[in-house]
Amino acid sequence: MKLTKEQAQEIKDQQSQENITKRVTAPELEKILYEALPILDHGFIRVVDYMGNDTSIVQAARVSYGKGTKKVNTDAGLIKYLMRHWHSTPFEMCEIKYHVKLPIFIARQWIRHRTANVNEYSARYSILDKEFYLPAQENLAAQSQSNRQGRGDVLEGEQAKKVLKLLKTDAERTYSNYEEMLNERFDGSIIDKNEIGLARELARMNLTLNTYTQWYWKTDLLNLMNFLRLRADHHAQYEIRAYADAMLDTLKKWVPITYEAFMDYRVGGTEVSAKGKLIIKKLIKGEEVLMEDSGLSKREWNELMEAFNLKDKLI
Amino acid sequence: MKLTKEQAQEIKDQQSQENITKRVTAPELEKILYEALPILDHGFIRVVDYMGNDTSIVQAARVSYGKGTKKVNTDAGLIKYLMRHWHSTPFEMCEIKYHVKLPIFIARQWIRHRTANVNEYSARYSILDKEFYLPAQENLAAQSQSNRQGRGDVLEGEQAKKVLKLLKTDAERTYSNYEEMLNERFDGSIIDKNEIGLARELARMNLTLNTYTQWYWKTDLLNLMNFLRLRADHHAQYEIRAYADAMLDTLKKWVPITYEAFMDYRVGGTEVSAKGKLIIKKLIKGEEVLMEDSGLSKREWNELMEAFNLKDKLI
Amino acid sequence: MKLTKEQAQEIKDQQSQENITKRVTAPELEKILYEALPILDHGFIRVVDYMGNDTSIVQAARVSYGKGTKKVNTDAGLIKYLMRHWHSTPFEMCEIKYHVKLPIFIARQWIRHRTANVNEYSARYSILDKEFYLPAQENLAAQSQSNRQGRGDVLEGEQAKKVLKLLKTDAERTYSNYEEMLNERFDGSIIDKNEIGLARELARMNLTLNTYTQWYWKTDLLNLMNFLRLRADHHAQYEIRAYADAMLDTLKKWVPITYEAFMDYRVGGTEVSAKGKLIIKKLIKGEEVLMEDSGLSKREWNELMEAFNLKDKLI
Amino acid sequence: MKLTKEQAQEIKDQQSQENITKRVTAPELEKILYEALPILDHGFIRVVDYMGNDTSIVQAARVSYGKGTKKVNTDAGLIKYLMRHWHSTPFEMCEIKYHVKLPIFIARQWIRHRTANVNEYSARYSILDKEFYLPAQENLAAQSQSNRQGRGDVLEGEQAKKVLKLLKTDAERTYSNYEEMLNERFDGSIIDKNEIGLARELARMNLTLNTYTQWYWKTDLLNLMNFLRLRADHHAQYEIRAYADAMLDTLKKWVPITYEAFMDYRVGGTEVSAKGKLIIKKLIKGEEVLMEDSGLSKREWNELMEAFNLKDKLI
C-alpha cells in the first residue's frame, strides 16, 4: 500500500482534529480513526466515521430517556440475550463507515451485501490507479479437487512462477493499453496532443479484474456482523477474508461487549438441524448412531461430526 | 409534554457530556442534542445521535482520502448538483437518530417508511404511559367534502365540545379498564393482591389509537429527506406534519447546505409531466391553451395551474 | 369470519378463472388460491398471487437457460444445501402475495418485518369494519410471572368473564362513538343530515387496538421464511402465531421441498454457541459438566439443556 | 448472441409449456416469455417469470376482495393518480424476473440498484464463457471535452481501428491465459494432464471487464421503473441504456397502462425547482428574465431552458 504525500497529509490532518461532542464515543476506535490499515498488496481499510457504541444498543433496547445502561454486567447480559434470541433491531442503532481500497473481483463479491451504503470511485469520471492485486506465493492455491468452489494445495515451483508472470504481464499490458486508448497516462499527462482519447467509460473495459478500486462503505452494526459472519468464515475466499479479519479487529475496538457475544454465538457457534439434534441426543446417551439411519447425507453427516470435533465418526 | 424528574435528570446528564472526538461534528445540532422538543399535547422529538455533516457528502461523492471539501462555494455547488440529478448515494453517508414520543395512529403512518431502524417501547413487556392525544380545538377538522382523505373546516361549538368529550372519556375509560385487566396501575401499584392480571400483550388491545407510544428511530439523510418530502407536505395529515416540521428544523441545524438544496429542489419544486411541458411551452409563447385539448384531466390541469400560480386558469 | 355476499361473489369469480400461462405453477397452491382461510374470530389470510415454485430456486442457483432442474433427488439435495449454508439469494426468486385481515395490535407486530410490500386499508379514506378481536376463553392468559413478555396460566371463572366483558364493551362503545363523531354508520348511512362529521383521519384515533384492519402483503420466499421462523415460534404471541401457522400450510403447498428443508434446519433446528459446543462435546464423551464451570448463565444453560431434551440437567 | 443447441432447446421447452392458472396473466408478455432478446454483441435479456398486471395495482390500492377493477377508464385514472402523487406502494405489488447476459463493467453499474434479487453465474465455481463486448464502430466515442463523465464524437479512421484491435487482442490474450492458468479450456478440456490448475476464484482476476457474465435479476415494478428512469435516460452510459431500452419494451407489454403513466410523468417529465418556478412564471407573464438575477448557476439555467425547449435563452 502506497499513499501519495498528499493523501498521507490529508489523513494526518483528519487525525489531528479534536472536536468536542455530546455524543457517545468509542475511545479505542478513535485511536485508529482515519488510519489506513494495509490489506493484501495494495489495499487498505480505514474507519472514517462511526455512530454509537455498546451503550447505544442497550439504550435502544430499553427505549430509555438517558443512557439506558445500568451496570456493565447487566448491559453485557442484555446484549448477549439480544444476540442469542435474534432480537436484532437494537444492533441496527450503531453505524460505521469505512474507506476501502480493494481489487475489483473482490468488490464484486462485497457489493452483494445490499443493506449498506456505497460510493465507489468512478471510472467513468476518473482514471483508475495503476495498481493490481498479485497474490503472494503462499496464496497461489490450486483448484480444490473435492469442492468446486474451493482451493486446494498451494502451487509451487515453475507453475507458480508462470501464473504470477501471466497475471503481472497481462495486468500491466492491459493497463498500458488503457492509457493508450485514453491518450492519457495515469498521472494525467497527455500522450498525443493531436488526438482525443476514447471515453473513460469505455476504456475501462480493458482493465483486468484484479485492478484496484476504492469506495466509501457504510453499514449498521447488525449488517456488519452479517457481512463478517459470511466473509470471515473459512469458506470465504481468502482475499475477502483478509478484509473481514481486519474489520473484526475494528469491531472489537468499537463495541467490545457485542464483539464477545458475536464471537460466541455466531462465529464460534454452530447450527444443528432437527435431524442432527436427534443424533446428538443419542450420542449423549451413549447410544450407537449410524449415518445410514440418520436421514443425513454423507456431506451433512460429516459437517455435523466436524462441528462437534468427532473425528473418529467422519466417513 | 411532561417529563418525570428522573427523565429530565437523565437528559441533563446526557447534555452535560463533553467528549473529545476526531469525527466531524455539526455544531448547531450539538446545541440541541438530547433536548425534548415538544410536539402536539404530549409528544416530543429528541435528536440523540448523528453521524456526518455536509462535508461527509462531498467527501463520499469525491471518494477522497481527506475531508473531500474544497471551498464552501464549490461544496455547495456539488451538493446542489447531486440533489438536482438524483445522485442520491452520497446523501446516504450521513445518519441521524431520534427518540420520538407519538400517538399510535401516527406511529402507524410513520412506520410505513421501511428504510429506517426502529426500536419501539414494548407493550408486551411494559405498561404504556397514561397519555392520549386530544386535538386542540383548532385542529378538530371536519371531513373534507371534496377530498376523501382530507380535512375540511374546523368543527365548532357544541359539536366540537362533544367530539373532544367523547375522545377524552373513551381514552380514559379504556385506559382505566386496561389497568383493571392488568391488575396493575400505570405507576406499578397492584390493584388486587389476590389476583393475577391479564397478560400485557393481551391487555394492550383495549387501548385506543390515540395512546402515546415512543421509539428510537434512525435513518440516513437521504431517507430522512424522502420522509420529510412526503410528511411535511400539505397533503400529509396535520399530526404527522407537526413532527415533520420540527424535524425540518433539525435538518437545517445539521446539514445547512443540503437543507437549502432540499428546500429548493424538492419541497419548493414541482414535477411537470410530458403533457404538462407542452402546455407550459405554449403559455410561454403566449399561445392559448385549453384543458380540453391538453390531454390532462381536470384535476391534473388544476394541479399544474396551481403549481405555477395561474389562478385565472383554474377550472 | 363473515364475508358479505358481494365479497364472497368476488372471491368466487377470481377462483373460476382458467388462464393459460407459460409460467411455472404450484398446483397444490392453485387449489386454495383466493380462498379466505379463517384465523382468530374475524380474521383471514388469502393467497392472492405467487411467482415461482421449488424449481425456480434450483434454476436461479444454477443460472440456467431452462428449468435448471435435474432429478427430484438432486434438486432436493441442492435446496437442502442452500438452506444449510445460508446461500439465501436463490430463495428470493419466489414471491407470494397475501390478503390478510387482522387486529391492529397484531398488524403493528407484523409490519416490523420491513422487507415486504404492503398496502393497508386506509382509515383516512374509508370507515373501518365493525369487527374486534375478542380472545377465546382458552387464550385468555395471565401475565407470566417468570417472563416479562410471556403468558402464564389461563384466566378462569369470574375474572375471565370480567375481562371479556370489558374488552367487548369498550370496543363496542368506542366504535359507536367513532360512528358518532363521523356522523356516519359503518354501513354508510348518515346519522344527522344537518351535521358534517369529524375527519376520518381523526375519528379513527378513538378505536381500540383490537379493531380489525386488512392489507395486501407481498414478500419473497426468503423473507417469508424469516417471518415464519420468528412468528411461528413458541415465543411469539399466540395471535400472530395463528396467522403464521396457517401460512406455514400455504408454504407447504407452494414449495414442498423447501418446506421440508425449512422445518429441518430452521424451525426444528437449534443454534449452539461456542461455549455450548464445549459442553455438548463433554457430554458426548460422558464427562461431567457443571453450569458453574460452563461460562453460561443459568438461563442460557437451561436453554441449551432444553434444546437437547436433557431435562435432568435443568437448574 | 449465440446460443448453444442445448440452450436453444431448453428455451424452446420452456416456451412450449401450457399451464392452467387462476392467477392473472399479461397476454402480450406471455408471447415473448423466455425469449432471448439480443443486446449489444453477445448479450441478451429474457423475461423468465412475472407476477401481476395492471389490475394488481388497482386491486392493492383499493385493498379489494376481488379484482379491484372497475372500468378501464377508472383504472387508468387511478394508476395515473398514484404515479403523479408518488403513492408508490401499489406498484410494488407486481414482480418481474429477467435472465440477463451482460459485460462485467455494465453489471457493476447495474448492481448498484440494491432493491432487487440477484443470482449471478459464479466464476468461483464455473468457467466464464469466452465472450467479450467489443463496441460497434458507431459507439466508439471519444471522451467528452465538456462533461467529465460523458462521451464526445465518434472516433474514426486509424484511431478507431487501433482501439478496437487493442480491445480485441487484450481480451483474447487474457482469456487465453485464464485458460492456461486454469489448465482447462472453456469447453472443459484439460490442457496438461500432469498439472492441477489455479483455483477458479483466483484465475478469474485475469479477465478484462468486458467479459460477459449473466444473472437472474428480479425486481418489483416500482423499482424496475426507478431503474429505467435512470438507465434509459440519455445521461446513462450507452451500453446500459441498450438493456434499459429493451426492458422498456417488456414493461409496455406487461403493464401497458402503467407504462403510459410512467412515460408521461417520469421519463418525459421534468422537475422544476422553487427558483425555476419563479422564472417560468415570469416567462408566462411575458416578463424579461436574466440568468444573473435568477439565482441559478449557468448550468442549471441551461438545464431549465432545455427542458422547456427555449433554445434562444441558452447561454
pLDDT digits (tens, 9 = 90+) for B196-245: 899 999 999 999 999 999 999 999 999 999 999 999 998 899 999 999 99
* 8 Å CB contact of D277 and B307: yes
ipTM rounded to 2 decimals: 0.95
Whether B236 contacts chain D with CB within 8 A: no
Q: Please enumerate in sequence order all residues whose Cβ is within 8 A of that of B285, keeping only pairs 6 or more positions apart, or say none.
A: none
Give the residue from D148, D164, D166, D175 with the most A CB atoms within 10 Å of its CB, the best one to mutate: D166
Catalytic residue set of B: 231
| Residue appearing with cell numbers 382468530 | C40
Cell numbers of B26, please? 455539526
d(Cα C46, Cα D315) in Å, to the nearest integer?
60
Whether D57 contacts chain C with CB within 8 A: no
Strand C270-272 versus strand B43-51 pairing type: unpaired
Q: B62: which DSSP letter?
A: H
* 8 Å CB contact of B151 and C208: no
Quote the pTM value. 0.96
* 8 Å CB contact of B198 and C124: no
Q: Is the pLDDT of residue C144 over 90?
A: no
Instruction: With CA atoms as reference, report the closest residue to C54 among C88, C79, C21.
Output: C79
Query: How many alpha carbons fall within 13 Å on the CB side of residue D127?
Result: 22
pLDDT digits (tens, 9 = 90+) for C61-84: 999 888 877 777 789 999 999 999
Torsion of CA C9, C11, C14, C17, to 10 degrees: -70
Please report which helix (H) or strand (E) contains residue A48, including its range. Answer: strand A43-51
Question: Within the 79-108 window of chain D, which residues sit less than 8 Å (CB to CB) from chain B?
Answer: 80-81, 84-86, 89
pLDDT digits (tens, 9 = 90+) for C182-198: 999 999 899 999 888 99
Instruction: With CA atoms as reference, report the closest residue to A52 among C295, B119, D47.
Output: B119
Whether A25 contacts chain B with CB within 8 A: yes
d(Cα B89, Cα C172) in Å, to the nearest integer?
49
Distance of CA B236 to the CA centre of its chain: 10
Q: Identify the pLDDT of residue C136.
A: 96
* 8 Å CB contact of D63 and C214: yes
> Could you tell me where the beta strands, DSSP code E, fall in chain C?
19-21, 37-39, 43-51, 95-103, 117-120, 141-143, 151-154, 212-220, 270-272
The size of the A-B interface in CB pairs under 8 A is 156
Q: Is the pLDDT of residue A14 over 80?
A: yes
Instruction: With CA atoms as reference, report the closest residue to B113 among B272, B240, B296.
Output: B240
Cell numbers of A309, please? 470435533
* 8 Å CB contact of D280 and B276: no
Which chains neighbour A (Cβ–Cβ under 8 Å, 3 or more pairs)?
B, C, D
The size of the B-D interface in CB pairs under 8 A is 87
Whether B286 contacts chain D with CB within 8 A: yes
* 8 Å CB contact of A59 and B216: yes
Residue of B nearest to C125 (CA): B149
Name chain C contacts of B198, Cβ cutoff 8 Å: 140-143, 155, 163
Name chain D contacts of B273, Cβ cutoff 8 Å: 84, 264-265, 268-269
Give the three-state DSSP class for B19.
strand
**Closest residue to D309, CB basis, from B89, B281, B303:** B281
Active site annotation includes A112 = no
Contact between residue C87 and residue C61 where contact means Cβ atoms under 8 Å apart = yes
Whether A65 contacts chain B with CB within 8 A: yes
Amino acid identity of C199?
A
Distance of CA B77 to the CA centre of its chain: 28
**Closest residue to B237, CB basis, from C111, C135, C201:** C201
Instruction: With CA atoms as reference, report the closest residue to C299 among C268, C281, C273.
Output: C273
Amino acid identity of C181?
M
Q: Give the end-to-end CA distance of chain D in Å, rounded to a whole number.
A: 45
d(Cα A101, Cα B220) in Å, to the nearest integer?
24
Burial of D106 (0-12, 13-18, 19+ CB in 10 A): buried
* 8 Å CB contact of A269 and C280: no
* 8 Å CB contact of A143 and D174: no
Burial of D71 (0-12, 13-18, 19+ CB in 10 A): exposed
Q: B92: which DSSP letter?
A: G
d(Cα B187, Cα B179) in Å, to the nearest integer?
10
Amino acid identity of B212?
Y
pLDDT digits (tens, 9 = 90+) for D67-96: 877 777 789 999 999 999 999 999 999 999
Give the three-state DSSP class for B167.
helix
Cell numbers of D245, please? 431500452
Name chain C contacts of A286, Cβ cutoff 8 Å: 286
**Closest residue to C274, CB basis, from A112, A263, A277:** A263
Cell numbers of D239, please? 451500453
Average confidence (pLDDT) over C4-32: 96
d(Cα B203, Cα B214) in Å, to the nearest integer?
18
d(Cα A247, Cα A250) in Å, to the nearest integer?
5
- The alpha carbons of chain C give a radius of gyration, in whole angstroms, of 24
Share of chain B above pLDDT 70, in %: 100
Burial of C193 (0-12, 13-18, 19+ CB in 10 A): exposed
From D48's Cα to the closest Cα of chain C, the distance in A is: 8
Instruction: With CA atoms as reference, report the closest residue to A88 among A277, A223, A276, A271.
Output: A223
Question: Within the 185-214 window of chain A, which residues sit less than 8 Å (CB to CB) from chain D?
Answer: 195-202, 204-210
Dihedrals φ, ψ of A289, to 5°?
-130, 140
Name chain D contacts of A205, Cβ cutoff 8 Å: 103, 105, 133, 167, 208-210
* 8 Å CB contact of A271 and C269: yes
Distance of CA A248 to the CA centre of its chain: 8
pLDDT digits (tens, 9 = 90+) for D172-220: 999 999 999 999 999 889 999 988 899 999 999 999 999 999 999 999 9
Contact between residue C70 and residue C78 where contact means Cβ atoms under 8 Å apart = no
Dihedrals φ, ψ of B127, to 5°?
-90, 135
pLDDT digits (tens, 9 = 90+) for D277-310: 999 999 999 999 999 999 999 989 999 999 999 9
How far CA D118 is from CA of A112, C205, C221, D226, in Å, comes to 8, 42, 14, 17
Bridge partner list, A38? A44
Number of C-beta neighbours around residue D234 at 10 A: 7
Share of chain D above pLDDT 70, in %: 100
Cell numbers of C52, please? 415461482
pLDDT digits (tens, 9 = 90+) for B37-68: 999 999 999 999 999 999 999 999 999 888 87
